[in-house]
Amino acid sequence: MAVIAQAQNTAAEAGLRGRLMTAIQRMQENRARRAVYRQTVRELNALTTRDLDDLGISRSMITRLAHEAAWGSAR
């Protein structure tokens, strides 16, 4: 009986450890995506309106484009 209880505790610890590692990994991925978003917004905002027009981008599109760069398109 003690062996079964120990095996269950080990499995529970492994499950908890796995969930914790998954949560940490997701946090790291989200941090990296937010960094891409912020960098994209910063770089596009640094361009002149003329440069943006040459690229076919209006200032109102910057946040959407940055979101797509970081998280992909919604479609």
pLDDT tens, residue by residue, 9-24: 666 667 888 999 999 9
pLDDT tens, residue by residue, 39-62: 999 999 999 999 999 999 999 999
Q: Looking at residue 52, what is its pLDDT?
A: 98
For 61, the 3-state DSSP assignment is helix
